[in-house]
Amino acid sequence: MDKPKITQAMINAYDEYTHLTLDRRGFMEKLTRLAGTGAAAAAIMPLLAANQANATIVPEADDRLEAQDITYPGAGGEMKGYLVMPKGATDRLPAVIVIHENRGLNPHIRDVARRMALEGFVALASDFLSPLGGTPENEDQAREMFSGLDMVATVANGEATRAFLSRHEKTNGKVGAIGFCWGGGMVNRMAVASPELGAGVAYYGAQAPAEDVPSIKAPLMLHYGGLDERINAGIDAYKAALDANGKTYELFVYDGVNHAFNNDTSSARYDKAAADLAWSRTVEFLKKNLA
C-alpha cells in the first residue's frame, strides 16, 4: 500500500487540534474531509501524531550513561524528573533542564535528555505536570492537564529546578534550559524570571511579551519552523524587543519545515536536516555559555 499523502492543511489541522480549540472529534471530521474518506483519515492520523514506539534513539540502558527517576524540591511542592549524566565523569559538568512539549515527560523527552547527556551535560528532564500528579500515559489526557497549571507557579518550579541543578554535586553550577513547543515557551518565560539562568534554547516556543524582555539576562537561541504560522506570528515583536534592549540572542528560521520539526516520533512533521542542524547549533551554544 502506498504511503498516504499528507498535505500542509492536514498538518495545520493537527496543530489546531493539539494547541488550540479543535477537539478530537472535530479534528477527525476535518481530517476526513481533507483526506477524502474515513479510512484515509485513519491511516494518516498515526503519521501526524507522535508515535512513542519510535522514541528511542539512545537506549535507556546505554552503558555510557547514568540515569534515574528522581524527586526534588519545587517552589511549592515535590517535583519529579529524569536525571541523566555521563557515566564516570570526574569533572563537574554544565547542567541543562530539558523541558517537554504539551504532552508532558514522555519517552521522547527522556530520550532527548539522554542525547543531551551524551554531549557532556548533566540533563534533567523535569515533569512540569508534577503539581497535578505527574504525566499520565495517555497523551491526550496529558495535553488537557496543561490548562490546569498555574503559570506563575510553573515558572517558579522552573527556577527551583535551576537552583537544584546549580547545587548538584555533579554540576559546575551553571544551568541552561532547552525546551520544545510548550517547553520552548517555558524557556522564554524562565529567561524573564530567572536572572541566574545561564542560557536558554527555545524550539518553536511562544515568545515572551515585549514589555518583559528588559528582564532577560541569559543569552538565547531561538529555533523556528518556517511553516509554523501560529508561533512565527510573534517573532517580529520579540526580535524588535530583544534588539531594542541589547539582548544577546541567535534566531534561526528553518525554511519549509513545520512546528515540532525536531520531534522524530512524528513522521509527518519531523525534518531530519533541520533537526540535525538545530541540534548542532544548540550543543555548541550551550557548551559556549555554560562552560
| Per-residue model confidence as pLDDT tens digits over 232-279 | 999 999 999 999 999 999 999 999 999 999 999 877 789 999 999 999
| Mean pLDDT along residues 123-152 | 95
Find residue 18's DSSP bridge partners. none
Q: What is the tally of structural domains in the chain?
A: 2
| Mean pLDDT along residues 95-100 | 98
Do 41 and 91 reside in the same domain of the chain? no
Q: Are 98 and 109 in contact (CB under 8 A)?
A: yes
Do 104 and 227 reside in the same domain of the chain? yes
What is the residue range of 14's domain? 8-48
Do 32 and 84 reside in the same domain of the chain? no
pLDDT at 1 over 60: no
Q: Would residue 3 count as lying in a domain?
A: no
Q: Would residue 2 count as lying in a domain?
A: no
C-alpha to C-alpha distances, 267 to 136, 208, 235, 280, nearest whole angstrom:
23, 29, 26, 21
pLDDT at 208 over 90: yes
CATH assignment of the domain containing 84: 3.40.50.1820
Give the dihedral sign, CA 254/258/259/264.
Answer: negative
| Mean pLDDT along residues 28-57 | 74
Find residue 220's DSSP bridge partners. 200, 249
pTM, to two decimals: 0.88
What's the chain's average pLDDT?
A: 92
C-alpha to C-alpha distances, 48 to 43, 150, 214, nearest whole angstrom:
10, 29, 38
